[in-house]
Chain A
Amino acid sequence: MVAMGIPRSKWQDEGVNSPRLGLDALRDMRGQRRRHRVETIEWFEALYRVYLAAFMGGGAILFLSSVAGDEQITGQALRDVTANIPHVVGFIAALVVFTGLRSGANGGPIAVEEAEVRHVLMSPIEHAAVLRHPAIQRLRTFAFAGAIAGGTANQLLGRRITSAGTSLALWALYGAIAGALLASLFVVAALLIHALAIPRWATTSIGVCILAWQGAVTFTSSSIAGPFDFIGSISRWWLNGVHIPDIVAIAVVLLITAVAVSLTGRLSLEALSRRSSLVSQLKFAVTLQDIRTVVLLRRQLSQEHMRVKPWVKVPKLLRRDIVVGRGLRSIAHFPLRRIIRMELLTVSAAGALVMAYRGTTPAIVVAGLLLFVVGLDAVEPLSQEVDQPDRTDALPLERGLLMTKHLIVPALVTLPFLFVGVLVAVVLEPAVSTVGYAFLLGIPALLGGVAGASINAVKGAPDPVGGANEALALPPEMSGIGNVIRAAWPPTVAIVSCAPVLALRLSIENNSQVFGNTLRATLGVFMFLTLIAGWVRQRDAIHKWFRTAQQQSKASTRTGSI
């Protein structure tokens, strides 16, 4: 028997409410860990990272400025821009708040280390004292990123409105203030919802109301003000100078921010514990551009589980092909939340396609990306198969054939979403011909989303030390291009599949063979998608052929050199 004795604590003498209990240790250890981190920093690597960030940031700004152009905005266009800025920026803010509310309902926005939860948050120290620091850090990061984005956007706009006579520095400053406030709203909304433990359904309702209000103000000719118009109004101070009501709104936001930070002590330990490990895995997956892992971790973070009881029992007839049957069974277990999300994304994508039809060409990028996300959910049976390579390889079935069969169910699953998309198109463009063209454009667009997601699933996660190790010898500027192409290819397929809407628009503008041109564009996309299906089927064979050819080439080079 040992007789070690349980140690005695200050709280046994002074009570747990002793204000300094544990706080000295917390402060000392945070300081010590900071020093550890500084000591272990590879300064050359840190400087290289700064250089890379400047390189990428500078490139992004140059790209954006080339997109924005330099032509001066004058006359009616200027009046439209100045009138719409508050609403449009307000709508972006409403979207940010909506995602913040959802994040809070899912246990965000803070993610502390798992060890911090286990050792610090379970010790007798006020949680607020521990969590205030990461909350402020999170606010600072978002505000900084928002300020950079807002400052850049306003500065680019300022170059096109030199008639305002405002210096570019002031343009940037006003944009930075608006951007910082806008981004901070994400953290503030999430903190409040999490700390006040507002249930998810109530949070979604609040978010939808805010979005609907700001959306109505932005997209209709309503004369009422939107809840976040003031942020856009700040970015427009170059027009009328500083606006007092905006200053009052800023003060209110700062007050709410202070309240949110003061409530950090009420954050749920369960949510913090759940997020602690998931968020670090998520960051790692994002670093590796591993979209599948990101999707899975996002589902875990938001506790989106498959239904235990399927919506419907898959009939025996549909289960005759075991792969198709397995796919249908997977879809039958989809949670309601996922189905609603897919519907909302389809509705938004249909809206974006209508915008592209009306003349906003970049809207096809939005539509393509939204349908790519729909596809990521739709190809779940295929992704599950790819997640289990050992099992797949053990099957007495060619991998390519298995994967191709797994494309059937996701393609069928998009059908109900197609009808929703057509409905949206008819509501936004009420005409008889809309129905036909919506089907003609909707089918390839939805299948393109599935095709992009399938490529993403089949190619799997990037292997940082495997086949790509030749790239490790290259500088990041060079190997980065390969990574970007690899990551951008699947969503690009989805975006390209939305392109027939441009053929429709151009045909109407040029008054030439509207149906014929649209049909030809659609058939072109179908051929493209067939090629992708063929790639899925023959991918292993192509890889095998390529490796053999490579080895033969190396062998013949060696023989030649001897």
Chain B
Amino acid sequence: MRKLLQNPQALAGGAIIFSLALVALLAPYISTHDPGDPNLWAILLPPSSHHLLGTDDLGRDVFSRMVFGSRISLLVGLIAVGISSLIGIILGSISGFYGKHIDSIIMRFVDIMLCIPTFFLILAVIALIGPSIFNIMVVIGVTSWMGVTRLVRAEFLSLREREFVLAARAAGARNYRLIIRHILPHALTPIMVAFTLGLGGAIFIESALSFLGIGVQPPTPSWGNILTEGKDNIDIAWWLSVFPGLAILITVLGFYLLAEGIREFSNPRLKK
């Protein structure tokens, strides 16, 4: 862990994620105003000492709304990627460990899923079952497990040939023990990288959905829907679009840096 922090990318990414998590956790204390409280006397005010990032067309404080929005982003990211990782690890382990027909079936299924443009699939499903934070998390989760599946499968394919697996089998270990206790721990680092990368992706998808108006519904603030509301006034109130956009950019960047850092840290061949 200490060595991981010596990696500049991991350090930068980690710092971004850590501050973000802190903001989300302490949102009620950090925010300066009630995020849902309109103020007709303070409509579309530019950033000032009183309203750090200005106000929107209902006079709500953008800074406070973004602080609370970070909770949505992180929550959606964590749960969605948690779901997709779980599916990916289970399917990938089974596919890579058993091989043969089971592997062919699962991999063809992955191919089919990859052929479908995920974003439009999510759009269609959300339009069908209705937008809610829960639905968004689940739908993002069940449409983005293919990468993890392929990754875990590839790890298992090579690991299952190792002699310690044969030795454990010779000692009478059951298949699920071989998978969970003997092989899976070896695949943890690539899974961690995929998880971190996935977080950035999921947050991005949530923002995009909210921007299109079928994600998190107002008045619950999310970076995506703050951005949407901002686009109507983009010519007179630039702060409404720029800050949520920046927040999404920095968050996604933070996760990518962290993922890259973990990857470099765990791969001895990339070390200088």
User: Do A and B interact?
Assistant: no
* Chain A residues packing against B (C-beta within 8 Å): none
* Chain B residues packing against A (C-beta within 8 Å): none
